[in-house]
Amino acid sequence: MSYLSCVEIEPKSSANASVIWLHGLGANGHDFAPIVPMINLPETTQVRYIFPHAEERAVTINMGYVMPAWYDILEMSVERKIDKQGLLDSAVQVQSLIQREIDRGIDGKRIIVAGFSQGGAVAYQSALTFTQPLGGLMVMSSYFATHDSIEPALCNKALPVYVYHGTQDPIVVEKLGQDAVGFLQGMGYETSYTTYPAEHTVTPEQIGDIRDVLANLLS
């Protein structure tokens, strides 16, 4: 089976947990790799970090330029008119990576799916519809693009979801993060929402919060 190309960072000893982290539009798997040393989890938590590269495709809002993208964005409106089928296809590719971690011997409940911006929209779909229990979902500066069509897997109804957003984000306005939390809570998910006085980025304070959540989920 073919998988998305990834940057993989192995722990010092055999992995007992995995974090699959999806980048934003126009970036690649190297984008968040430098964060790993900053997270610095306890040595007993041996995490394999996986940063997939999205496939390259033409992006309508960027004048059709070809770039790494999880799906095409057709209109830069608040509602985000997107190529939903492209998103679903990317979610299936991410789920293949989740399954590969299980096949490698990682307990599904010790697999965390994370995503930033466009990657966060794919993370929602990938984690909430995966047919085996997972450990958690972390979404940064993103939106819940498939909230009106998703068919969540019952086995992940108790999946803890952590949503992070910058209050000054001009790219994905905070209202979209708030809306995502509302949709999740309406579906019955345990959801945490944290904001930062920042734009479309991940801040040092946020990295600290992510470290604390990972340490708790994977302790």
Task: Give catalytic residue positions.
Answer: 117, 169, 200
> Which residue matches tokens 């990834």?
6
Cβ 20 vs Cβ 32: under 8 Å? no
* Burial track 109-133 (b if 16+ CB lie within 10 A, e otherwise): ebbbbbbbbbbbbbbbbbbbbbeee
Tokens standing for 12?
Answer: 């010092």
Return the beta strands (E) in 117-160 as ranges: 136-140
Q: Tell me, what DSSP letter sits at residue 112?
A: E
